[in-house]
Protein backbone atom coordinates (compact mmCIF):
# COMPACT_ATOMS: atom_id res chain seq x y z
CA UNK A 1 0.00 0.00 0.00
CA UNK A 2 2.87 2.40 0.82
CA UNK A 3 4.63 1.57 -2.45
CA UNK A 4 1.47 2.17 -4.45
CA UNK A 5 0.78 5.52 -2.76
CA UNK A 6 4.38 6.69 -3.12
CA UNK A 7 4.44 5.69 -6.78
CA UNK A 8 1.19 7.57 -7.49
CA UNK A 9 2.38 10.66 -5.59
CA UNK A 10 5.63 10.75 -7.63
CA UNK A 11 3.77 12.23 -10.59
CA UNK A 12 1.70 14.73 -8.57
CA UNK A 13 4.03 16.17 -5.92
CA UNK A 14 7.68 16.29 -4.92
CA UNK A 15 8.40 13.21 -2.79
CA UNK A 16 11.40 12.84 -0.50
CA UNK A 17 12.67 9.88 1.50
CA UNK A 18 15.20 10.28 4.31
CA UNK A 19 16.87 6.94 5.02
CA UNK A 20 18.35 6.87 8.53
CA UNK A 21 18.89 3.12 8.91
CA UNK A 22 19.44 0.00 6.84
CA UNK A 23 16.61 -0.57 4.35
CA UNK A 24 16.33 -4.01 2.78
CA UNK A 25 13.80 -5.31 0.27
CA UNK A 26 10.51 -3.44 0.11
CA UNK A 27 11.89 -0.59 2.25
CA UNK A 28 14.63 0.06 -0.30
CA UNK A 29 12.14 -0.22 -3.16
CA UNK A 30 9.79 2.33 -1.58
CA UNK A 31 12.68 4.75 -1.04
CA UNK A 32 13.58 4.47 -4.72
CA UNK A 33 10.01 5.41 -5.68
CA UNK A 34 10.56 8.90 -4.25
CA UNK A 35 11.67 11.84 -6.37
CA UNK A 36 14.75 12.31 -4.16
CA UNK A 37 16.43 10.20 -1.50
CA UNK A 38 18.64 11.52 1.29
CA UNK A 39 20.69 8.63 2.62
CA UNK A 40 22.62 8.65 5.90
CA UNK A 41 26.21 7.48 5.44
CA UNK A 42 25.66 4.39 7.60
CA UNK A 43 22.29 3.47 6.06
CA UNK A 44 22.58 1.11 3.07
CA UNK A 45 19.67 0.64 0.66
CA UNK A 46 19.59 -3.01 -0.36
CA UNK A 47 17.23 -5.14 -2.37
CA UNK A 48 19.12 -8.12 -0.94
CA UNK A 49 21.77 -8.35 1.79
CA UNK A 50 25.44 -9.10 1.15
CA UNK A 51 25.04 -12.39 3.04
CA UNK A 52 22.14 -13.48 0.82
CA UNK A 53 24.00 -12.51 -2.36
CA UNK A 54 27.07 -14.46 -1.25
CA UNK A 55 24.87 -17.51 -0.67
CA UNK A 56 23.36 -17.21 -4.15
CA UNK A 57 26.79 -16.72 -5.75
CA UNK A 58 28.22 -19.64 -3.78
CA UNK A 59 31.30 -17.73 -2.63
CA UNK A 60 32.32 -14.71 -0.54
CA UNK A 61 32.12 -11.77 -2.99
CA UNK A 62 30.84 -9.05 -0.66
CA UNK A 63 32.15 -8.48 2.85
CA UNK A 64 29.49 -5.96 3.96
CA UNK A 65 26.25 -4.30 2.89
CA UNK A 66 27.88 -0.94 2.18
CA UNK A 67 29.60 -2.47 -0.85
CA UNK A 68 26.28 -3.07 -2.57
CA UNK A 69 24.01 -0.36 -1.22
CA UNK A 70 25.97 2.36 0.55
CA UNK A 71 25.71 6.04 -0.39
CA UNK A 72 28.75 5.79 -2.68
CA UNK A 73 27.17 3.05 -4.81
Q: What is the pLDDT of residues 12-25, one digit of tens each?
A: 999 899 999 888 88
**What is the reported pTM?**
0.66
Q: What is the pLDDT of residues 1-14, one digit of tens each?
A: 888 888 888 889 99
Per DSSP, helices labelled H in 1-73 are: 2-10, 26-32, 50-57, 66-69
Q: What is the pLDDT of residues 24-65, one digit of tens each?
A: 888 888 888 888 999 888 888 888 889 999 999 999 999 988
Amino acid sequence: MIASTTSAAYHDIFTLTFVTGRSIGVGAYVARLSTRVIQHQDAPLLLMSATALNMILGREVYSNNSQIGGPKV
